[in-house]
Amino acid sequence: MSANYKNWVPNGMITALTAGTAILGAGTAALMCAKMSPKLKMALVGTAGAGTLACGAMTAWSIYAHCKFSYNGNRQLSKAIVEGTAKYITLPEGGIGLDVGCGSGALTIACAKRNPQGRMVGIDRWGMEYASFSQQLCEDNSDSEGVQNTEFHQGDACKLDYPDEYFDAVTSNYVYHNITGVNKQELLRETMRVLKKGGTFAIHDIMSKARYGDMQQFISELYNEGYEVVELIDTTNGMFMSKGEAKVLGLSGSSLLVGRK
C-alpha cells in the first residue's frame, strides 16, 4: 500500500463548493422565472447571480490548487516543497529531529529517509479544520514508506513540550501562518529554543512582512546570539514555484529560513 499524504485542498472543500455553486445557480434560474415585481426580481437575481459567480470562482480555484498540490498529479508541488525542505536537515549519528505541524507526516518521513542514522519526531494538534489528518495517518504513511525511524505525537507549536536544546534539527512547512493571534517571530523563537547548539533548521512558510515583520532584523538578532549560519531563501523565484504561481495559489512571500545554531 502506498503512502497517502492527502492534499492541502481537501476533496470535501471541492465537493461543498461545487454543490454550493449548483444550488446558487439553480436558485438564480428559479428566481428568473418567478413571478414578482420587476425591481425585487432584479435585486434577488443580481444577488443570487453574484453569489453563483463567486462560489464558482472559488470552486475553480480549489480544483486548480488541488491539482497543483496533488502527490499523484503532474505538478506535485507539495512533494517538491517537502523534499526541497528536507534537504537542509542533517542529523548526527543517533540524533533526533523535530517536525512541527507534521500534518500527514510527509516532511517528517522525508527527513527520516535522508537521515537513517537518526530519528525524526513529528508533532501536530490535528485540528478539526484538517479532520482527515491524524497521528494514525502519519504512522500508516511511515509504515507504507518502510521508514522505521519516526514517531508522532500530539503537540502545540506555541508551547513545545520539550526542554531547551533537546533536538539536533528542527523543521516545519507552511504551519505558522495558520496560527492566528500569535507573533510569528515568537513562534520561530519557540522552535529554535529546543534546538541544540550546532543543530540545523529549515522552516518554510509565508514569511511576508505583514505576517512575520522584519525578518532581516530577526536574522541579525540570531547572528548576534551566536548562530553560525542563517539564510532566508525566497522559494517563489523558481526554487519551488514561480512568483505568478505563488500569487495565484495565495503563497506569495513563501520563504525558507535555514541554517545552523
Assign residue 179 the CATH number of its domain. 3.40.50.150
Q: Judge whether 4 lies within some domain.
A: no
pTM above 0.85, yes or no: yes
Domain boundary among 69, 94, 110: 69
Query: Widest CA span of the chain, in angstroms?
Result: 78
* % of residues, the chain, pLDDT over 90: 90
Q: Number of structural domains, the chain?
A: 2
Residues 213 and 185: beta-carbon distance below 8 Å: yes
Q: How many residues does the chain have?
A: 261
Do 53 and 125 belong together in one domain? no
Residues 41 and 31: beta-carbon distance below 8 Å: yes
Q: Judge whether 6 lies within some domain.
A: no
DSSP reduced 3-state for 227: coil
Do 156 and 227 belong together in one domain? yes
Query: Tens of pLDDT along 140-187?
Result: 999 999 999 999 999 999 999 999 999 999 999 999 999 999 999 999
Q: In sequence order, which residues have a C-beta less than 8 Å from that of residue 52 and are 6 or more positions away?
A: 21, 24, 25, 27, 28
Q: Tell me which H or E stretch contains 249.
A: helix 243-249
Domain boundary among 19, 35, 69: 69
Q: Judge whether 40 lies within some domain.
A: yes
Do 137 and 236 belong together in one domain? yes
